């Protein structure tokens, strides 16, 4: 598969998985949603906020639209629905961004500042891989937490998206 098509596919899978996860949050009570579940960002809410923050930071770096934040645990949206809508909007923005990338752009080097202020330079293709892997990691944390509360969880593996996408 051509690298352009691979990342177009990953961006669309990412949107599908985000929508599916958010649908499965409907039976989760606000106490369960906001309570400390032992996750790195404490709660489901904290984890989803971090996911949006990470996506916003990376999108800003790659699209040359600086996104300034105070820390990786900064709350961007307190309201559950507004946060969910923002996550979906950012996933849609990834699709639009990736659809514009030329094959050459994937091999270019991005120089940026990390959240700790260090300047680093890395190729764009592996950075995009990191972004989608990061999202999968945190969706998995939220999914496991939902399961721990006794609620049904979605099957979000890439293969399920591939099977239904045909």
Q: What is the DSSP letter of 39?
A: B
Compute the distance between CA of residue 62 and CA of residue 137 in angstroms, rounded to an integer. 21
Compute the distance between CA of residue 23 and CA of residue 26 in angstroms, rounded to an integer. 6
Lowest mean pLDDT among 1-5, 13-17, 98-102, 107-111: 1-5
Q: Encode pLDDT of 148-165 as tens digits.
A: 999 999 999 999 999 997
Report, as an integer, the average pLDDT of 87-114: 96
Q: What is the pTM of this model?
A: 0.94
Residue 68: pLDDT over 80: no
Q: Encode pLDDT of 103-115 as tens digits.
A: 999 999 999 988 8
Among candidates 17, 3, 2, 1, which has minimal Cα distance to 165?
17
Domain count, the chain: 1
Residue 166: pLDDT over 70: no
Q: What range defines the domain where residue 108 resides? A: 3-165
With beta carbons less than 8 A apart as the criterion, state whether 4 and 81 touch: no
CATH classification at residue 63 = 1.20.120.450
Residue 119: pLDDT over 90: yes
Q: For residue 123, give the 3-state DSSP assignment.
A: strand
């Amino acid at each position: 598969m051509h690298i352009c098509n691979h990342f177009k596919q990953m961006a669309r899978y990412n949107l599908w998985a985000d929508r599916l996860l958010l649908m499965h949050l409907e039976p989760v009570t606000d106490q369960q949603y906001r309570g400390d579940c032992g996750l790195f960002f404490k709660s489901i809410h904290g984890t989803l906020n971090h996911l949006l923050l990470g996506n916003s930071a990376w999108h800003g770096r790659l699209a040359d639209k600086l996104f300034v934040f105070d820390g990786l645990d900064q709350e961007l949206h307190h309201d559950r629905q507004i946060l969910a809508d923002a996550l979906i909007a950012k996933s849609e923005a990834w699709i639009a961004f990736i659809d514009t990338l030329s094959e050459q752009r994937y091999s270019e080097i991005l120089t940026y500042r990390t959240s700790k202020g260090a300047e680093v330079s890395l190729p764009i293709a592996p950075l995009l891989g990191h972004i989608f892997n990061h999202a999968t990691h945190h969706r998995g944390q939220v999914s496991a937490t939902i399961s721990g509360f006794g609620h049904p969880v979605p099957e979000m593996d890439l293969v399920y998206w591939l099977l239904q996408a045909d």
